[in-house]
Amino acid sequence: MTLQTIVCVDDQPEVRRLLADVFRARGAGVVGFDDGDAAIAYLVANPADLVVLDVDLGPNRRSGIEICAALRSRLPELPVIILTGHGTIDDAVAAVKAGAADVITKDPYLEDRLELSVDKVERILQHARDRRRLEQENAALRVANERLRKVVSEPRSAIVGESAAILAVVAKIERVAPIPRPVLVLGPRGTGKELVARAIHALSPRAAAPFVTINCAAVPESLLESELFGHEQGAFTGATKLKEGKFELADGGTLFLDEIGNMSLDFQAKILRVLEYQRFERVAGSEPITVDVRVIAATNADLRQAIARGEFRADLYDRLAFEVIQLPALAQRMDDVPVLAAYFLARFRHEVAVHVREISAGALDRLARYDFPGNVRELKNVVERAVYQARGDVLTDDDVDAALPPPTSATADGDDAGLPLPARVDAFEAQLCRDALARARFNQKDAAQLLGLTYDQFRQRYRKYGLGKE
């Protein structure tokens, strides 16, 4: 490294000139003072790399040893070289005690001695900078490790279960997490596809970087391009300022594309291009933007069938499917119901002050006999609703019965059996929506979640079947 600014303090003008000539020849800027206290006042307000200080600054002034001690107390990182007239051992000992980096005798070889001393100081400073850099890097690593531990232990990143099916999923997550390639997560609604994506991110080298999510089915395709790639100011009506898209926000981290099967073929081609080249343009932009984003995509659709129908690009599937994680329906892992129920009870107790402390064997048996078409998400809602409504400290089978949805009335053997198939499907769907509303205490967002729908999708059915009038 090269010293940029050196402060020289000596009461003899000829010595200050000599010092200035020596240091300016090395490319440094030099500021001279004949008084130590004036130098301190300057250094407190201005940066410097080195102080060269005479031990004897004249009568009625503090000595260089005193000035050195004062500087070290105020600016402990600033190195000081002490100049002595006679080079006595007492002067050298006093200078070192005061915190001087070196002591040099004023003699005919002063210039050579200064060169050697400054080289020594530069090495000291470089070591100090290297040490600070390592300390900062270690501190950053400690913060990142602590954050990683918190992320991995967060409930939203936890994959809960002991069945063979879920253990196979966890094994795949652990194997693929360190590999910087896309992952495709498949499974019915409510099985925890986003949890899997979060777990992959948390166990990857990108854990300290952003995890960004978007539900592709919840955004109209006319707006999806702006959401994913951003737009320039004035790109369209209402675009009053530049907006960064999800890909930019996820730079260095992970982007979770939920319900990717809902994209049109044209938009799938745009996603494929970004995956291939990690480059795109904002809407109405002309400058390419390069990012480093790991994509995890998810859908409950059968993409193989969608490819066969010409509704999904085979090349996009191949690009996404570096690893495919298939999540089982809860009905395929019923052994996990007791573990999941206990987990959801513990979480609910942590979030809400409830008096239920445990789940009875009868309640667990009742949960195990229900098929949970809404999968793990529905189990969570049932457990929380049962705990909320329960009167005692132990959750009973009656509490669970009260929280489970009532049987649907629109069946093939019911009053709708003589209707055409589309009408029977509508009647069945309407009844499902009614049941979900009742279970959600008529909160439409919660009802949509119970059915595995977006709020907009539920609202469409709410209006279609006139549920508000009921």
pTM of the predicted model as reported, rounded to 2 decimal places? 0.58
Q: What is the pLDDT at residue 142?
A: 66
d(CA 428, CA 366): 25
Residues 6+ apart with CB under 8 A from 115: 22
- Cβ 393 vs Cβ 357: under 8 Å: yes
- Cβ 296 vs Cβ 201: under 8 Å: yes
d(CA 343, CA 62): 72
Q: What is the pLDDT at residue 149?
A: 53
- Only one residue has tokens 């991110």, namely 201
Q: What is the pLDDT at residue 87?
A: 60
Residue 248 token pair: 């930019």
| pLDDT averaged per 10 residues in sequence order, the chain, 470 residues | 80 85 82 90 89 86 89 87 76 82 76 72 67 71 56 58 92 94 95 94 93 92 90 83 93 96 92 95 90 96 93 96 96 93 92 92 91 92 94 93 72 53 79 84 85 87 80
The amino acid that residue 88 corresponds to is T
d(CA 112, CA 463): 91
pLDDT tens digits for 328-377? 999 999 999 999 999 999 999 989 989 999 999 999 999 998 889 899 99
Give the 3-state secondary structure of residue 67.
helix
Residues 6+ apart with CB under 8 A from 328: 165, 166, 169, 187, 191
Which residues are paired to 448 by β-bridges? Answer: none
φ, ψ (nearest 5 deg) of residue 261: -70, -10
d(CA 108, CA 279): 65
Q: What is the pLDDT at residue 413?
A: 45
Strand pairing class (183-186; 294-299):
parallel
